[in-house]
Chain A
Amino acid sequence: MQQNEMKLEFDSRSCNEGFARVTVAAFMTQLNPTLEEVADVKTAVSEAVTNAIIHGYEGRVEKVTILGRIEGQELYVEVRDEGKGIADVALAMEPLYTTKEECDRAGMGFSFMQAFMDSLEVESEPGRGTCVKMRKRISREEREPVVTKRTDGTVAKDTQEASQTADGQPGKLIWNKQERS
């Protein structure tokens, strides 16, 4: 089974949120995910990191840690802070529940993490910090790149596979227009 691991530590500044989710997205590309799977993971990571920054550290600049691991076709992501912690995790995870409504928080962070990942686990202790553990199975199978001979004799390689129609049957090939023209 393919295994790979990475660890990322950064300051709890809001400008690092984009950097954090893009790093995880880049790490997961080796699983050959679909664009939608990448978008889902980015959103989930963004939620967890934003929570650590806003709720965990409440604006103080300390460290947020992300552990990423690939186990076969599964991505495991852990987002950890050593901040305030959550007294009642079940309540915090309720949709629309938020302690910072005045800051325009929607109370949907954990709901989004649940919706976009396959599993979500939250460990927290008041005064010690919070650790969010998420898993997502990347379904895409190994695919051979499409190789076609062009009329001029050169060979066009395209990793974009035959598109799947809604019923799972292979649809027609979609080509990279820029490359062709």
Chain B
Amino acid sequence: MNQVFTIAGTVMTIHLPAELDHHSAEQIRAEADRLIRTRNIRSLMFDFGGTSFMDSSGIGMIIGRYKMMRFMGGNVLAIRVGEQMRKILTMSGIYKVIDIYEGLPQQSELY
């Protein structure tokens, strides 16, 4: 995976690393916030396609970005979520506020 952030129109996808912990979450956070603030992003997609590990630091990072997107009237999705990642997302309760997809969402489900 060469690019962490891809922007298509108003949709930004964050391609999460193989292991999303405190260390890697910190690295994503600053750049994600800068892009959300400076570009007109309405939908934020967290792509778990290449991710096999996440802990509560990852959850914290996602919740932080969710708050930011909600404040700006946008939405947040998690895509290509595998079984182990779904377990963490479910346990954290984050599934109540962001939509979780096993694959990719329909274009109509984005802003």
Give me the interface of A with B, judged by CB distance under 8 Å. 14-15, 17-18, 21, 36, 39, 42-43, 46-47, 50, 53-54, 103-109, 111-112, 115
Residue pair B55, A112 in contact (C-beta under 8 Å): yes
Query: Beyond A104-B63, A109-B56, is A15–B91 a contact (Cβ under 8 Å)?
Result: no
Query: Beyond A39-B53, A39-B84, A112-B55, is A17–B63 a contact (Cβ under 8 Å)?
Result: no
State which of B21, B60, B64 has its C-beta within 8 Å of the C-beta of A18: B21
Residue pair B91, A112 in contact (C-beta under 8 Å): yes
Residue pair A106, B23 in contact (C-beta under 8 Å): no
> Which residues on the A side are within 8 Å of B59 (C-beta)?
106, 108
Residue pair A50, B61 in contact (C-beta under 8 Å): no
Residue pair B22, A17 in contact (C-beta under 8 Å): yes
**Interface presence of B88 (CB below 8 A):** yes
**Interface presence of B29 (CB below 8 A):** yes
Residue pair B55, A43 in contact (C-beta under 8 Å): yes
> Which residues on the A side are within 8 Å of B91 (C-beta)?
111-112, 115
Chain A residue with the shortest CB-CB distance to B92 = A108
Interface size class of B (residues with CB under 8 A): 20 to 34
Q: A43-B55, A103-B60, A104-B57 are known; give 19 further A-B pairs, CB within 8 A.
A: A14-B21, A14-B23, A17-B21, A17-B23, A18-B19, A18-B21, A18-B23, A39-B84, A43-B54, A47-B55, A50-B21, A50-B22, A53-B22, A54-B22, A106-B63, A106-B92, A108-B92, A111-B56, A112-B88
Residue pair B57, A50 in contact (C-beta under 8 Å): yes
Chain A min CB distance to B98 (Å): 13
> Which residues on the B side are within 8 Å of A17 (C-beta)?
21-23
**Interface presence of B99 (CB below 8 A):** no
Residue pair A108, B22 in contact (C-beta under 8 Å): no
> Which residues on the A side are within 8 Å of B84 (C-beta)?
36, 39
> How far does the alpha carbon of A112 sit from the alpha carbon of B53 in the complex, in Å?
13
**Interface presence of B102 (CB below 8 A):** no
**Interface presence of B26 (CB below 8 A):** yes
- Which of A15, A106, A109, A112 has the largest count of B CB atoms less than 10 A from its CB? A106
State which of A14, A39, A42, A108 has its C-beta within 8 Å of the C-beta of B26: A14
> How far does the alpha carbon of A36 sit from the alpha carbon of B83 in the complex, in Å?
10
Chain B min CB distance to A171 (Å): 17
Chain B residue with the shortest CB-CB distance to A116 = B91
Chain B residue with the shortest CB-CB distance to A50 = B22
> Which residues on the A side are within 8 Å of B22 (C-beta)?
14, 17, 46, 50, 53-54
